[in-house]
Amino acid sequence: MFEEAESDPILAKKTFDLREPRLRTALLNAQYQLLNRADRMLLVVVAGIAGSGKGNTINLMNEWMDPRHIHTLAFGAPTPEEAQYPPYWRYWNALPAKGRIGIVFGSWYAPLLKEAARKRPDAERIGKEVEHIRRFEAELAANGVQIVKLWYHLSAAAQAERTRVLLSSPETAWQVVPEDLKVPKKYDRLRDAGIAAIERTDLPHAPWTIVPSADAQLRHLRTAETLLAALRRRQAPRPARARALAADRPARIADRLGELDYNASIAKNDYEIELGLMQGRLARATRSAKFHAGRSMVLVFEGQDAAGKGGAIRRVTRALDARQYDITPISAPDTVETAHPYLWRFWRHVPTPGRVAIFDRSWYGRVLVERVEGYAAPADWGRAYDEINDFEAQLADNGAIVLKFWLAVSRGVQLARFKEREHSPFKNFKITPDDWRNRKHWKDYVQAANEMLARTNTPAAPWHLISADDKRYARLQVLRHIVETVEARL
């Protein structure tokens, strides 16, 4: 894999001088063409042997292209703040918008490479990291992010020599960092870690390129050529899996909404007493030291219009400390949000330990309104079930208690509530032409909801289907599920 790179090839200065001007112009033009595209972003992962000059080459690429549209993202060990979130949170948060180029140092490969370079690597941990990487990159690629990965490589002797030359002058010595000096001692392990990582993550939608790095000009040229080739592809390569997913549907989907008992109800007096008691239990649990130490909560509220999501949410938040929760109402994405992969805007609201994130509608819009109204292509919403399950699993792995509620009203009760809203001077803001239009597509929504319930009801993030014709009954059920789950998990 590294034969060419470890032979430390050299580029004739004449060749470089001849090709540089044309390459620069071509790169710049290709960058400007990308800039006009709302559906694609280029993400460049930079990795390789320390002290190979990758920073130096990336600096040059920033000079050759228009640096205002390039975001250099450099990750180190997670900060205390970053460590509170799922590991991929910081990568999601830093993703540049479509049209841009992102260059990533210290990427999601860092933990894998670190483990693989140990004296006795843990095969299971490596397997997990590889799996995470493959999922993440597949999801990005399916969402219009073109991924190019560069491995800067040179022989052990050339690495040591490059460091020696830099150290020999006070004008350049500061460019050498401690990591560079450690390479000679463990070159073989670093090299083998690179091979292991590249072999397991070299995919058509996220290919690796090895850049011979002993000679600066060859390093620059190969980097520029790789970027140019990527920018010139008309279509970013998509992962094979994404195309198949839409077809990957369960043969039979249970009609859970149809089979629900809509007559469940509770007397007003019983409700008042139970509500206070439930809220008390929730208040105690969410104020406990255990909850604040490592737990958080993600509550998702979905359901038909007028099912009573807002009222149920308010009964929950009254029991919470005002400083510990956020309610995020989800509606159509804005222009900044559509310029990023679908789940990006939800990653920004992931809770830290001790906090509760409440979503009034959620990422499930993808497989509900976007599917029914045709805002998302079948391939996009078909893929979303898997992406969502993966997202929620990452939250749960990080200690979040994820609970999802579908508040179900019958068609008749919805109509009655719509009419009541229209006639109430302080409720009529709640009813819009959209609500009436959605109602016309009742069956499509039921079908979409049933499929969603079937495909995203995971042990880590279960759905609770709740009969909501009686609002009080629904509110208590929501509280009961939350309280019992939180108490059981603490």
Positions touching a copy of itself (CB under 8 A) are: 21, 24-25, 28, 32, 55, 59, 62-64, 66-68, 72, 74-76, 80-81, 105-106, 169-175, 177, 272-273, 275-277, 279-280, 283-284, 310, 314, 317-319, 321-323, 327, 329, 334, 336, 360, 425-426, 429-430
Q: Which is nearer to a copy of itself, 2 or 91 (CB)?
A: 91
Q: Which is nearer to a copy of itself, 170 or 433 (CB)?
A: 170
Contact (CB, 8 A) for 400 and 460:
no
Q: How far is the CB of 270 from a copy of itself (least distance, A)?
A: 12
Q: Which is nearer to a copy of itself, 259 or 334 (CB)?
A: 334
Q: Which is nearer to a copy of itself, 85 or 463 (CB)?
A: 85
Q: How far is the CB of 175 from a copy of itself (least distance, A)?
A: 8
HSE at residue 354, side-chain half, CA atoms within 13 A, is 11
Burial 439-464 (b: 16+ CB within 10 A, else e): beeeeebbbbbbbbbbbbeeeebebb
Q: Which is nearer to a copy of itself, 295 or 371 (CB)?
A: 295
Q: Which is nearer to a copy of itself, 120 or 323 (CB)?
A: 323
Q: Which stretches does DSSP call E strand in 87-242?
A: 101-105, 145-153, 208-212
Q: What is the DSSP letter of 203?
A: B
Residue 164: phi and psi, rounded to 5, are: -60, -45
Q: How far is the CB of 137 from a copy of itself (least distance, A)?
A: 22
Q: How far is the CB of 460 from a copy of itself (least distance, A)?
A: 27
Q: Which is nearer to a copy of itself, 240 or 336 (CB)?
A: 336
Helix (H, G, I), strand (E, B) or coil at 469: coil
Cα–Cα distance measured from residue 346 to residue 388, given in angstroms and rounded to the nearest whole number: 11
Q: What is the DSSP letter of 331?
A: -
Please name which of 86, 91, 98, 103 lies closest in space to residue 150, comparing C-alpha atoms.
Answer: 103
Angle of helix 309-317 relative to helix 268-287, nearest 10 degrees, comes to 50
Q: How far is the CB of 13 from a copy of itself (least distance, A)?
A: 19
Q: Which is nearer to a copy of itself, 200 or 349 (CB)?
A: 349
Helix ranges (DSSP H) in 12-68: 13-35, 54-64
Please name which of 233, 196, 198 lies closest in space to residue 42, comparing C-alpha atoms.
Answer: 233
Cα–Cα distance measured from residue 162 to residue 176, given in angstroms and rounded to the nearest whole number: 10
Cα–Cα distance measured from residue 87 to residue 49, given in angstroms and rounded to the nearest whole number: 23
Q: Which is nearer to a copy of itself, 276 or 374 (CB)?
A: 276
Helix ranges (DSSP H) in 247-288: 256-259, 268-287
Q: How far is the CB of 70 from a copy of itself (least distance, A)?
A: 10
Q: How far is the CB of 372 from a copy of itself (least distance, A)?
A: 22
Contact (CB, 8 A) for 103 and 46:
yes
Q: How far is the CB of 22 from a copy of itself (least distance, A)?
A: 9
Q: How far is the CB of 446 from a copy of itself (least distance, A)?
A: 25
